Structure 1
Amino acid sequence: MKILAASREAFLELGYGGTSMDLVAQRARVSKTTLYTRFPSKEELFVATITAECDRYGLRFAPDAFDDLPLEEALARVGRRFVDLLWSPEVIKMHQTVVGEASRFPEVARLYYQGGPEQAVAGFVALFERLARRGLARIEDPVFTAMQFLSVLQGGARCALELGLCDYPPAEEREAFVRKAVALFVRGIV
């Protein structure tokens, strides 16, 4: 959708504080009425923009979508989606922007969390609940398990990327990292 594409560009370029609804309407080449009909506020547009980026990387998935795969392969596939999103230049830039603006615009951190991390955690909680019901993993607390799994995947190059100390790792490096992280994690839940 061209509105979300325009808002993504504007938020990345100008941050939350520098982006206006008028600017997004102008860049999307839609009327302000059309924009406000779809997204009644800048806050809703920001959350929708973050959510759309997560969706673009496949983080909105049905927990049963991986039923035909062994545990480690299922976690590797969803883990790779998460790492590809989290380490992407766009998400690194957006995260830097949000952290930088959070003191001036406290709501921006809450909106970012609502549009991205909160939804990702919910998807992984549902996946871990399903894995436990199927008897593939010993999981007493799916929320804690999901949070720990996502924490493991936030390691690797993430910090160096956020600090601008390395380039975006190639696909084979991201894949190797995910496979190692998943193997380590699986040893703790089976």
Structure 2
Amino acid sequence: MVTEAPAKDAKTAQILEAARDIFLELGYAATSMDLVAQRARVSKTTLYTRFPSKDDLYTATISNECERHGMRFSPECFDDLPLREVLIRVGTRFVELIWSEAAIRVHQSVMGEAQRVPEAARLFVKAGPEQGTAVLVALFERLTQRGLIAVDDPAFAARQFLAAMQGGPYCLMAVSLAPSPTAEERSAFVAKAVDLFIRGVAPGR
């Protein structure tokens, strides 16, 4: 189920920005609510009113990054577009998210802490990959209803699409062995991946 992101007031946005920087700097385990309140320049009462626990703050921070890159959308918002354009737009948003410096650093932090602090990995998966997949599954179900794709399992197709977008230089970037691609390289990668994917899901194939 896809959940709508809560509305953010100025204080909430301030807290999320500070939390993002601290989680990136220190990781989940070393981040404290006191430090976030201090860095965000808010009282602990203000912080805990909006985020009752560090777990809540961490998942909200991850979800906020996904939202900021356009990965919290309603599938109906693409109803006026042809299939290729829908997939290009969604693929571009997803690539811009996972290839961003912040996302790469979060991924590295989570992997580094996974054995010692498995809760951090669980929260990351819940707020990021699971929610992102749910959004894509809803989109692929909509595309199936519109007759733009012909698949027996929209959920499987959606996950394969996300997997395709995690190809290319991403694996090397995740271990700091490749620089971030240029905007032109990103666009070319998404277009090629989408065109290859469409051959497998288009009706009448």
CA distance in 2, matches of 1:120, 1:163: 22
| Secondary structure in 2 matching 1:75 | helix
Cα-to-partner distance string for 1:28-54 (whole Å, 9 max, x where unaligned)? 000011101100000010000000000
Distance in 2 between residues matched to 1:74 and 1:167, nearest whole Å: 28
Q: 2:87 & 2:76 partners in 1: Cα distance?
A: 12
1:98 aligns with 2:78: no
Q: What is the distance in 2 between the residues matched to 1:34 and 1:139?
A: 48
- Alignment match of 2:174 (pick from 162, 180, 187): 162
Aligned to 1:109: 121
Q: Does 1:177 align with 2:164?
A: no
Residue matched to 1:40: 52
> Residue in 2 aligned with 1:85?
97
Task: Report what 2:26 is aligned to.
Answer: 14
Structure 1 stretch 137-146 or stretch 176-185: which is displaced more?
137-146
- Per-residue CA deviation, residues 75-129 of structure 1 (Å, 9 max, x unaligned), is 0100000000001111000000001001111111110011111111011001000
| 1:3 maps onto 2:12 in alignment | no
Query: Quick one: distance in 2 between partners of 1:75 and 1:151?
Result: 13
TM superposition shift of 1:167: 1.2
Aligned to 1:30: 42
Deviation at 1:65, TM superposition (A): 1.0
Instruction: Write the mapping of 1:65-84 to structure 2, written as runs, cut at 5 A.
Output: 65-84=77-96
Gaps of 5+ in 2: 1-12
Counterpart residue type for residue 97 of structure 1:
S
TM-score, length-normalised on structure 2?
A: 0.91
Q: 1:145 is matched with which residue: 157, 166, 184? A: 157
Greater mean alpha carbon deviation, residues 94-103 or residues 60-69: 60-69
Shift of 1:162: 1.1
TM-superposed CA distance for 1:67, in Å, is: 1.2
RMSD of aligned alpha carbons: 0.6
In the aligned structure 2, how far is the partner of 1:169 from the partner of 1:123? 26
In 1, Cα distance between equivalents of 2:33 and 2:40: 10
Q: Is the 8 A contact 1:128 1:145 kept in 2?
A: yes
Distance in 1 between residues matched to 2:97 and 2:29, nearest whole Å: 23
Aligned equivalents of 1:140, 1:83: Cα separation in 2: 26
Q: Runs of 5+ in structure 1 lacking a partner? A: none
